[in-house]
Structure 1
Amino acid sequence: MTEARIAHSRLKLLALFAVFGLPMAMAWGMVEWRLGIPDERTAHGSLHPDLPQLADWPLGQVAKEGADDWLMAFDCASDCSASADRWWRVHRALGRDAHRVSRLRIGGTESKALPGESVVTWQAAPDWREPGALWIIDPEGRAVLSYGEGVEASNVLEDIERLLKLNPEPPLARLHDE
């Protein structure tokens, strides 16, 4: 072999090491020196990992439209028709992903349920209850995010869209529902 061919082969080998080694070195540097890692929050809601599973909430029978649905549960403390309408509009704004989310109104049984909404009441008010709060609950029944009474509907919509994007629907899920 000539010197030129040996140098060319070594150069190829170094390029191959660089292709596989540089990303690992960059990832290590990002973790070690916190370079390029965003520090800001991406969700507008609050995380409450200490909240019990939905099955352990002191509620009546909770009905969801689909078994794999996310749930928007809101505590209707006052002005229930306005709150129900507000969250119904957020639900409709989800567009093609609206079928993946169900709504649960807790309280406010005096006003009629809107389409796609189930209404239950607290059997006993838990100590973690926040009147007027909204909880986003995953298909397994865990409260993922919670919002206070004055939250902007656009912030909730943005968070739900992000959750649905990060947790895509299985490809054949619609066929199972039919």
Structure 2
Amino acid sequence: MNPSLYLSDTPSPRGRGRWQLLGLLALVLGPMLLASAMYRWQFWVPEGRSFHGELLGDGRDRAALGIAEAATPAAAAAPVAASEVDAPGDRWQVLVTSPDDCAEACRRLVYLARQIHIGLGREASRGEHALASATAPTADYRATLARDYPRLRRYDLDAGRYRGAVPGGEPALWIVDPHGNLVLRYPAGVNGKAVLDDLRHLLKLSKIG
């Protein structure tokens, strides 16, 4: 019997297989965990960004702005598909917020949000447009929403909480991911093409929604 057989430093096939499996898991899960941590705690984020809006990425969601979770289409009588009504949260969202009723600046943003959604073209099924306001729209504007914005989602908004979360408490435009997280913020005078470019870039990078 050769004692050297028991003193060999060569790992067994089972041991090599275990290390190979651990290495493979590290290669697959490591970048995902690192990217999630970078997004959550904002470290190692490059200063040079291609986004036109204010990149948030701090873990806040719609509720942090005082937005109620439940949403409805603008016009209940409008011919909206069941999936559009019953399954919010599975699409990227162009969201307009106003701590008062939806006046002139807010209405421009609502129009812009719809045009951005349409501008996605073949990717439009991955997005939606929405309005969150603290005061119900006037009767005239409700009629306009019912006629021209049948797929618009509507949310109730807590004005006090919104003003505490948004400097100045002004109407704003947001890109929200399918999990409800706030991704980008834009002021009322934003250029629509810039928002559309940002949203297209996010859709290209994203595997969700």
Q: TM-score if structure 2 supplies the norm length?
A: 0.55
Q: What are the superposed Cα offsets for residues 30-64 of structure 1, whole Å, 9 maximum, x if unpaired?
A: xxxxxxxx963210011223462224442234338
Q: 1:39 to 1:58 in 2, by over 3 A?
A: closer
Q: Is the 8 A contact 2:173 2:186 kept in 1?
A: yes
Assess, with a 3 A threshold, how the Cα gap between structure 1 residues 156 and 88 changes in structure 2: closer, same or farther: same
Residue in 2 aligned with 1:90? 116
Q: Give the letter for the 2:165 counterpart.
A: W
Does structure 2 conserve the Cα–Cα contact (< 8 Å) formed by 1:62 and 1:118? no
User: Which shifted more, 56-65 or 156-165?
Assistant: 56-65
Corresponding letter in the other structure for 1:78: A
* Aligned partners of 2:64 and 2:165 also within 8 Å: no
CA contact (8 A) 2:68 2:157 kept: yes
Aligned counterpart in structure 1 of residue 154 of structure 2, from 96, 119, 123: 119
Q: Distance in 2 between matches of 1:167 and 1:119?
A: 25
Q: 1:128 aligns with which of 137, 160, 165?
A: 165
Identity over aligned pairs, percent: 29
Q: Superposition RMSD on alpha carbons, in Å?
A: 2.5
- Structure 1 unaligned regions, length at least 5: 1-37, 171-178
The match for 2:90 among 68, 79, 97 is 68
CA contact (8 A) 1:109 1:119 kept: no
- Alignment-derived partner of residue 42 in structure 1: 50
> Which of the residues 97, 109, 114 maps onto 2:137?
109
Alpha-carbon distance between aligned partners in 1 of 2:57 and 2:48, rounded to the nearest angstrom: 20
Alignment-derived partner of residue 78 in structure 1:
103
Residue 139 (structure 1) shift? 1.0
The residue type paired with residue 116 of structure 1 is: R
CA distance in 1, matches of 2:208, 2:97: 27
The residue number in structure 1 matching 2:29 is: none
Paired AA for residue 132 in structure 1: P
Question: Cα 1:50–1:125, aligned 2, differ >3 Å: closer, same or farther?
Answer: farther
What secondary structure sits across from 2:165 in the alignment? Answer: coil
One of 167, 178, 185 as aligned partner of 1:139: 178
Query: CA, structure 1 residues 121+68, in 2 after alignment: closer, same or farther (shift >3 Å)?
Result: closer
